[in-house]
Amino acid sequence: MNRDKLHTPGDNPRRLPPWMRRKVRLSENVTKLKKIIKDKNLHTVCQSAGCPNFHDCFEKPTATFMILGNICSRNCRFCGVPKGTPALPDNDEPDRVADAAESLQLKHIVITSVTRDDLEDGGAAQFARTIEAIRHRRPETTTEVLIPDFQGNKKSLQTVLNSGIDILNHNVETVPRLYPDVRPQADFEQSLCVLRNAKELKTGIITKSGLMVGLGETVEEMMAVFRHLTEVGCDALTIGQYLAPNHSSFPLVEYIHPDQFERYRQQAESAGIRYVYAGPYVRSSYNAEELMDAVKEARSE
C-alpha cells in the first residue's frame, strides 16, 4: 500500500521535524483567560487534552470549553483527557461558561465534552443548557458544539440541535481500519450517522468533522473517508498531525509533511467537502471562528 511518507526514512518519530517546532508565546490575554477559567472552575479541552495550540487560541476572541467534568468514560488511545468514573453533571456549569463568554467578549465559542456513556442522554441536556445560557447572556456570540457520538441516540442529538447552535462538529478521528486500536469503544459508521442524522434533523445546520494523521493510515484510506464524509453531507473538515499525549497512548507512526497536508486539503475539497483546514497544527477547534466567518460570507452572497 502507498503510505506516501514524506519524512526521512529512519527518522526518530519522537524527534520533532523542523515544521513542527515553534515557540510558545505568553501574553496578557493568555494570562487573563487562564485566570477566568480557574476562578470559574471551568475546563478547556486545550488544557485537559494538552493541545499544542493552547496559547495561539487563547490570544483570539474564541475559546473551547469542555463541560461535564474532566474525566472521560471511554478509553480512546489517542486522547490525553483523564479516564475513569466521572462525577455527576454540575447544574451551575452552564451559567459559569456563559459568564466566561461575557467576561471575555467572545466572538465565537466552542463547547465540547468528555464522553459520558454513564448518562442516559450522554450529556446532551447539559450541552443544550450551556448553549442556551450563552445565547441569553451574549446573543452576538456564534456557537459550535463538538459532541461525542451519544451512542447513536437521535433524541440526544435532537436536544443539542434544538438549542440553537450554529455548527455541529463530531470527529471521525481516523480511518475505519484503525478504530479497534485507536477508538475501541467507538464505531466509524456510527460517527458517520451522527453527521447524517444532524442534517436530517435540522435543515441548514453546518456539520463539521476532524481527522488525525500520522497513526499509520494510507492515502487511499484517507480519500475513502473524504468520500464517506461527503456522502453524509459534511460541510467542513479539519486534518491535523497526531501527537501522542503520553507514553501509554497509541504510538505515533510518522510525521506528515506540510506538502501532504496540502494534497489532503485539495483531495477533500475535490471529494465535495466545502471547507477544509489541513496542516500539522490544525485541530478541531483551531481557528474555529474562521469557518464561521466563511459560512456567514457564503450565506450573504
Q: What is the pTM of this model?
A: 0.88
Whether the pLDDT of residue 289 is over 70: the answer is yes
Which of these ranges, 6-20, 160-174, 200-214, has the smallest mean pLDDT?
Answer: 6-20
Residue 69 DSSP class = -
pLDDT at 134: 97
Percentage of the chain modeled with pLDDT above 70:
83
- Each residue's pLDDT tens digit, 171-184: 999 999 999 999 99
Cα-to-chain-centroid distance, residue 26: 24
* pLDDT at position 112: 94
pLDDT grade for 158, boundaries at 50, 70 and 90 = very high
> What is the percentage of the chain residues whose pLDDT exceeds 90?
61
At 225-283, the pLDDT tens digits run 999 999 999 999 999 999 987 788 899 999 999 999 999 999 999 999 999 999 998 98
Amino acid of residue 11 = D
> What pLDDT does 279 receive?
94
Where does residue 18 rank: exposed (0-12), middle (13-18), buried (19+ CB within 10 A)? exposed
CATH of domain 23-300: 3.20.20.70
Question: DSSP string spanning 170-202?
Answer: ---BS-GGGHHHH-TT--HHHHHHHHHHHHHHS
User: Is the model more confident about 97 or about 55?
Assistant: 97
- Res 194: pLDDT: 98
Question: Which pLDDT tens digit goes with each residue over 29-65?
Answer: 666 666 777 776 776 655 544 455 555 555 556 788 9
For range 160-175, the mean pLDDT: 97
**Which helix (DSSP H) or strand (DSSP E) does residue 128 occupy?**
helix 124-137
